[in-house]
Structure 1
Amino acid sequence: MADNKPMRLWGGRFEGGPADALTRLSVSVQFDWRLAPYDLLASRAHARVLHRAGLLTGEELDRMLGALDELESACKRGEFRPTVADEDVHTALERGLLERLGSLGGKLRAGRSRNDQVATDLRLYLRDHVRTIVSRLVELETALMSQAEEHAATAAPGMTHLQHAQPVSFGHQLLAHVHALTRDVDRLKDWDKRAAVSPLGSGALAGSSLPLDPAAVAAELGFDSPAPNSMDAVADRDFAAEFLFCAAMIGVHLSRLGEEIVLWASQEFRWIEVDDAYSTGSSIMPQKKNPDVAELARGKSGRLIGSLMSLLTTLKGLPLTYNRDLQEDKEPVFDSVDTLLLVLPAVSGMVSTMRVNSAKLEASAPEGFALATDLAELLVRRGVAFRDAHEAVGHLVVWCQVNDKDLGDLTDEELAKVSPHFAAGPAEAADGTPGVREVLSVQGALAARSAFGGTAPDRVRDQLVSLREIVDGQAAWASGS
């Protein structure tokens, strides 16, 4: 007679089955099924270690590996799926193995536990998907750099407190976002070094009395080493929390970029136009063109930050070693991976296709007395203390506001009337110090900021050379080359 009881990996100790409420609470296969390819990968490595330990014969190993290959193919084709009776991905796959091998399939469980299995599977999953995330980040970095190259010499209003401050190269501003993204990639690459530790072989918490070889398993699975402490190996979710922090920071950077694009695309700014392919309209207002991709990127950051907070809160009071609370580690991780892989291509497409209104940017660059600092620094070069220069230019700005004039509109007499420091003098002094008129030029203000890291167009082009080398290296890392 067929045994219709649900298969469990832990039932021998119990006379009765779990209550329906417990079963519903315990089931995780509906979300951890995506770990199946990684569980099968680890199972092959474990089978080979069992063979080397003399716990599987050569013929048994061949049958085991053949069944695992067949099971993987069936999973890919959708012919083998978890059922409502499967508690988790491990239970489902062991059921599939038993269906193919009978009692031989049960030998694979020797020397391992779901505790070290799931810790291994999740690391394998994340190390794989992080490289895909980095590839998508590289695409966004490349899109921003392409726009920055085109607009290295395009002047734009640089802002602090969202108020006009000093003219900057629009390319310089775009590259500021690239630098933030390169730090995100650096964090992920650094994260990978700590994630490259294999828990498999730690068993439930104390290792195994069987003559297994955790180092061989680690090497086969692409890890740098086996875990040095079996208790830490099954309890550790630092790698998951750290990934979620990296994801949250990416979300923050996407949100800041999204916020700027929302502002730039507004009627008040009109610095850019978002392409139709990355915009939506209004169901009531026919004229509307909404920068939805930028807004959604901004909104998704809350989701990514929330996933980090969720896992940290779960972990904060757990005793060693494994606790069922750790079932809550996977959903925030999976959701963050899915969110990034959904958002990043859309943001890249939006950036690469946006049209920049260079004329509007150039016209807006000097507005709001944005060249005042250049005027103060001219006085400093003439020997005036910056405190006095700051005061003099401040008075000049007030005079302009009262008389409804801009700095560039002032006559020599009006300048001298406000302060003798502004006497016109020669256009350029013998020591190369420019005259007042020369510093009241947006392009002159940009060119003057030629120190390393400055906004001068030549320095922006230098940044591009350096960033292309960095981003090319990131792309190579993501592809494994």
Structure 2
Amino acid sequence: MTEKLWGGRFQKGTDKVVEDFHSSIRFDQRLYRQDIKGSIAHARMLGRQDIISLDDASAIVKCLEDILADIEAGIVEFDVSAEDIHMNLEKLLTERVGEVGKKLHTGRSRNDQVALDIRLYLRDEIEETSELLRDLLKTLLERAEENLETIMPGYTHLQKAQPITLAHHLMAYVQMFERDLSRLQDCARRMNLSPLGSGALAGTTFPLDREGVAEELAFDGITENSLDAVSDRDFAIEFCSSASLIMMHLSRFCEEIILWSSQEFSFIELDDAYATGSSMMPQKKNPDVAELIRGKTGRVYGSLMALLTVMKSLPLAYNKDMQEDKESLFDAIDTVKGCLTVFTPMIATMTVRKEQMKEGAKGGFTNATDVADYLVKKGLSFREAHEIVGKMVFLCLEKGLSLDELSLEDYQKCSPIFTEDIFDAIDVVRCVNDRQVPGGPAVQAVLSSIKKAQERLER
């Protein structure tokens, strides 16, 4: 059995079952790069501060760089009995460089070490996730520009409500994903403080240069309280919360993609590369990618709830429960990145059936509000106009007609205010383009919104 680096207090080895149960190397080995990066910065600082000799610090740094190269070359096997990535790397270091390697942990605990590693790791992952969101935003803006005049029905309660454009609809999601990007940036900013030097919970008696290490590792500063530094996982919870909102927005969009690609809607067709077939029914083309993303949303929510539940009753400072942070965090990261990676090209390659969308906008009395607005502009109060148009819709239902198909005589029976120009006023294209208020669906309003979003993205 491997001798534990912490084993001086103990008179017997760890039970094999406990060793397997206790070990986290199966999942935390992905932190190897961050752990080595943090250890190199720590070793250099120990040398600068004359806590260990400069020669010893140099030897440690060189050996850690060699270990990193060997891991990335695939020639290092981690040892379950060494528990976690931190102890595995220290064990490798000591085996290679001898007694000098045992000096690396001076003034450091695994508690502040793991807090550092997770922050470094999550900082990288937030940037990668942010880049995937930027790619999605670029794609949505491109598709919006292509569909400035693509008329479609807008819905409330999943009932046809008013005509809009596909560009306007896509820009709603641009707003959502921009907020997601902003939340990730906020999360990264709050997280970007170095906990190294906090020790197990009470700092250390050695004259560490915490600020120098923080600067070398590109942190904005250092954590101010050693207890909080080693027991804080707010940043991981905050990321999972942000990831949950990203997944919620993806899921809502996927639900619409699923509906739109059905025969009942026929608004879009997914590219063959982003759909699947049936093992039994040869005619099927299933939106499985969208369905999987919708399903994986619950998985990310689960990661958030798991982290909140793990942390909810923990006394200060570090507790072994906190080892449970990593699998939930890692799974949330992997899931949201995987979903963004496949969602963006699915949107980029889908075919928009513009005529079907426009036909859909003509049904369901989507221009009823415009009839009411017409009457208001002629002098009626909105409530009077609302009642008149409601009766007209009932008349249409009785006759099996749309508002466009009523005669002028039918209109004038409902109100003498109507004249021939009512038919121009309720054309769905005009219904859209008369809504020029900022944030509305008119072509120029949406184009302005697109340009602003493009500028924000470039910044």
1:453: which partner in 2?
Answer: 439
Q: Give the alignment of 1:151-230 within 5 angstroms.
A: 151-230=147-226
2:354 partner amino acid: S
Look up the SS of the partner of 2:207 in the other structure.
coil
- Percent of residue pairs bearing the same amino acid type: 46
Cα distance in 2 for residues equivalent to 1:121 and 1:68: 15
**Is the Cα–Cα contact under 8 Å of residues 280 and 290 in structure 1 kept in the other structure?**
yes
1:54 aligns with 2:50: yes
Cα distance in 2 for residues equivalent to 1:413 and 1:212: 89
Q: Shift of residue 372 of structure 1?
A: 0.3
**Is the Cα–Cα contact under 8 Å of residues 98 and 106 in structure 1 kept in the other structure?**
yes
Cα distance in 1 for residues equivalent to 2:11 and 2:298: 46
Q: Shift of residue 56 of structure 1?
A: 1.8
Cα distance in 1 for residues equivalent to 2:20 and 2:55: 40
**Is the Cα–Cα contact under 8 Å of residues 271 and 357 in structure 1 kept in the other structure?**
yes
1:477: which partner in 2?
Answer: none
Q: TM-score, normalised by structure 2?
A: 0.98
**Is the Cα–Cα contact under 8 Å of residues 28 and 87 in structure 1 kept in the other structure?**
yes
Greater alpha carbon shift after TM alignment, 286-295 vs 56-65: 56-65
2:260: which partner in 1?
Answer: 264
1:406: which partner in 2?
Answer: 402
Greater alpha carbon shift after TM alignment, 409-418 vs 153-162: 409-418
> Aligned to 1:280, which of 271, 276, 279?
276
Cα distance in 1 for residues equivalent to 2:136 and 2:278: 28
5+ residue gaps in structure 1? 428-434, 474-481
Cα distance in 2 for residues equivalent to 1:397 and 1:163: 15
1:443 aligns with 2:429: yes
Look up the SS of the partner of 1:55 in the other structure.
coil
**Is the Cα–Cα contact under 8 Å of residues 259 and 265 in structure 2 kept in the other structure?**
yes
1:110 aligns with 2:110: no
**Is the Cα–Cα contact under 8 Å of residues 367 and 428 in structure 2 kept in the other structure?**
yes
Cα distance in 2 for residues equivalent to 1:104 and 1:164: 73
Deviation per residue, 1:365-412 (Å, 9 max, x gap): 121111000111111112211111110000000001101111111111
2:140: which partner in 1?
Answer: 144
**Is the Cα–Cα contact under 8 Å of residues 48 and 54 in structure 2 kept in the other structure?**
no
Deviation per residue, 1:317-357 (Å, 9 max, x gap): 00000000000000011111111221111111110000000
1:360 aligns with 2:346: no
1:458 partner amino acid: Q
Q: Shift of residue 471 of structure 1?
A: 2.0
Cα distance in 2 for residues equivalent to 1:268 and 1:148: 24
Deviation per residue, 1:280-310 (Å, 9 max, x gap): 0000000100111111111110001110000
Look up the SS of the partner of 2:437 in the other structure.
coil
CA RMSD of aligned residues (A): 1.0
1:185 partner amino acid: L
1:478: which partner in 2?
Answer: none
Cα distance in 2 for residues equivalent to 1:324 and 1:343: 31
1:127: which partner in 2?
Answer: 123
Look up the SS of the partner of 2:160 in the other structure.
strand
> Aligned to 1:93, which of 89, 95, 98?
89
Greater alpha carbon shift after TM alignment, 335-344 vs 263-272: 335-344
Cα distance in 2 for residues equivalent to 1:378 and 1:81: 76
> Aligned to 2:23, which of 5, 27, 33?
27
1:383: which partner in 2?
Answer: 379
Deviation per residue, 1:34-70 (Å, 9 max, x gap): 0010000000110011112212212212211110111
Q: Shift of residue 117 of structure 1?
A: 0.3
Q: Shift of residue 7 of structure 1?
A: 3.5
2:289: which partner in 1?
Answer: 293
Q: Shift of residue 178 of structure 1?
A: 1.3
Q: Shift of residue 165 of structure 1?
A: 0.2
**Is the Cα–Cα contact under 8 Å of residues 194 and 219 in structure 2 kept in the other structure?**
yes
Q: Give the alignment of 1:314-333 within 5 angstroms.
A: 314-333=310-329
Cα distance in 1 for residues equivalent to 2:77 and 2:252: 41
Q: Shift of residue 222 of structure 1?
A: 0.9
Cα distance in 1 for residues equivalent to 2:53 and 2:115: 28
Cα distance in 2 for residues equivalent to 1:189 and 1:40: 25
Cα distance in 2 for residues equivalent to 1:9 and 1:330: 22
Aligned pairs, number = 459
Cα distance in 1 for residues equivalent to 2:147 and 2:117: 45
Deviation per residue, 1:432-466 (Å, 9 max, x gap): xxx31221111111111101000001111111111
**Is the Cα–Cα contact under 8 Å of residues 258 and 291 in structure 2 kept in the other structure?**
yes
Q: Give the alignment of 1:48-87 within 5 angstroms.
A: 48-87=44-83
Q: Shift of residue 76 of structure 1?
A: 0.6
Cα distance in 2 for residues equivalent to 1:77 and 1:210: 36
Cα distance in 2 for residues equivalent to 1:84 and 1:471: 45
2:432 partner amino acid: L
1:24 partner amino acid: D
Cα distance in 1 for residues equivalent to 2:139 and 2:282: 30
Greater alpha carbon shift after TM alignment, 102-111 vs 132-141: 132-141
Cα distance in 1 for residues equivalent to 2:191 and 2:399: 64
Q: Shift of residue 81 of structure 1?
A: 2.2
1:471 partner amino acid: L
2:50 partner amino acid: G
